[in-house]
Amino acid sequence: MYSLVANHFYLLTSNLKNCLMKKPFIDYYNKYNIIPTSQNVKNVKSFLYQRNHLYSNLGIPLSFFSNKNIIEFGPGGGWNAQATSFFRPRSYTFVDGSEKSIYELRKKIKNKKINAKVIKLIKRNIFNFKTKKKYDIAIVEGTIPNQKYPNKMLKIISKCVKNGGVLITTTHSPFSLLSEVCRRLLRIKIYNSNISFENRLKTSCKIFKSHLATLKTTTRPVKDWVSDVILHDHSFENKYDFDTLDTLKCLEKNFYFYNSHPKFLIDDTWHKHIKNQNHTNKIYKKQHILNSLFLIDYRLEFKNFRLKKNTLKKIKNMEKLSRKLIIIHNKIIKDNNYKQISEFLKNLEKLNNLLPNEFKQTKKSIKNYIVDLPKYIKNNKGKLFIDFKVWWGRGMQYSSYVKKLKI
């Protein structure tokens, strides 16, 4: 009897704990009534060319969406859906949990910016989403990494894909996040010297405007990038880095690796030698580590040059260091002070020393950050971060997976 009561009590408190736990993205967006993922679509042609290029690399040019049943999870305000619905799918279903997303999507549907024979808008937490319907294509962009339970979310989404259908998702690797992690550490000072969200936003925009300008694109407003990347309160337990290998491991039982952007896979196997549906999963796993380091800096040519055995070992060590840096970053953000900053910089320097000489530009940027961050913390008013500003990782990787045929 006692154990029954204790068990009941445990279930009750753990349910209560789950209810009180912050919902990644949704709680932050709802708190400030924002959806900071808008896209500049004034130049419709170039927006469509860009999205068509991306989706073609994923194996589905935009015209392939025509007459298909599409489901998109976490569509934000539906900016990207303007491209994926351009060739009039048979149906387009949106699932999102934030108020502002739903508001923006409703507006776009009313203004005929979304083009599908049937449009369905579902305001729901993805973790509570269930359907018997199977879709040709399921899309989830910018939503899986940073969840507390990314595997669980991905599994729920994967269940909606029909036999032979495609799932498109995005990932963050430890290397690709590194420049972002360094930038996020600037926020401690911004937080402690500005109390309101509006003032923090203003100060951050001033600081990061010149960083973003080095990217020479104007697709996303500075304000949105800052709100989403710098001021976003990721909880300590969120899985900030969730890379393509994590995604593949989660999906591999029922899916095979299809394509990605940037391109990772080189497959020169003659198709007549293929015996089962696990072929690309196997070769992806082999090639992953070779490609991973190139995500650290978008300025470097992404090439599959043959790496020496000891370089591979070095990359593994650097990846470990990157993960360690993310953890120290999480602690610094959680404590909202710079007590552990020297530990962060010490490990960053270690990583920098391991970077091969081909990464000269990255090394220069990291060195500059290591020298200038302490000056920034001490309120030095001089010109800071000149070489660091231009360093950006290939922050988000896109990949697609085909649901294995059940024949």
Ligand X SMILES: C[S@@+](CC[C@H](N)C(=O)[O-])C[C@H]1O[C@@H](n2cnc3c(N)ncnc32)[C@H](O)[C@@H]1O
Per CB under 6 A, residues contacting ligand X are: 23-26, 29, 35, 37, 74-76, 80, 96-98, 101, 125-127, 141-143
Place of tokens 């589905």: 60
CB atoms within 10 A of CB 119: 17
The encoded tokens of residue 26 equal 């949704």
Tokens of 381: 């008013």
- Three-class SS of residue 172? strand
Helix (H) or strand (E) holding 45: helix 44-57
Q: Name the residue type at position 267.
A: D
Nearer Cβ to ligand X, position 96 or 243?
96
* CA angle 110–81–117, rounded 5-degree value: 60
Nearest-approach distance from CB 198 to ligand X, in angstroms: 21
Closer by beta carbon to ligand X, 227 or else 291: 227
Q: Least distance to ligand X from the beta carbon of 60, Å? A: 16
How many residues are listed for the chain in this entry? Answer: 407
What's the closest the beta carbon of residue 347 comes to ligand X, in angstroms? 28
β-sheet bridge partners, residue 139: 72, 168
The span from the CA of 223 to the CA of 201, in Å, is: 7
The residue assigned the tokens 């736990």 is 21
Nearer to ligand X, 9 or 127 (CB): 127
Cβ nearer to ligand X, comparing 27 with 343: 27
- For ligand X, give the closer residue by CB, 123 or 134: 123
Closer residue to ligand X (CB): 35 or 248? 35
For residue 316, what is the enclosing H or E element? helix 309-335
- Smallest distance, ligand X to C-beta of residue 160, A: 14
Q: Shortest approach of ligand X to residue 125 CB, angstroms?
A: 4
146 vs 204 by CB, closer to ligand X = 146
User: CA of 6: how far to CAs of 12, 151, 160, in Å?
Assistant: 10, 30, 38
**Chain position carrying tokens 């083009």:** 115
* Burial state string for 36-54 with b = 16 or more CB within 10 A and e = fewer than 16: bbbbebeeeeebeeebbeb
- DSSP, collapsed to helix, strand or coil, labels residue 375 as helix
Q: How far is the CB of 140 from ligand X (least distance, A)?
A: 7
In this chain, which residue has its C-beta nearest to ligand X?
74
Instruction: Output the smallest distance, CB 166 to ligand X, in A.
Output: 17
The CB-of-52 to ligand X minimum distance in angstroms stands at 16
Nearer to ligand X, 80 or 352 (CB): 80
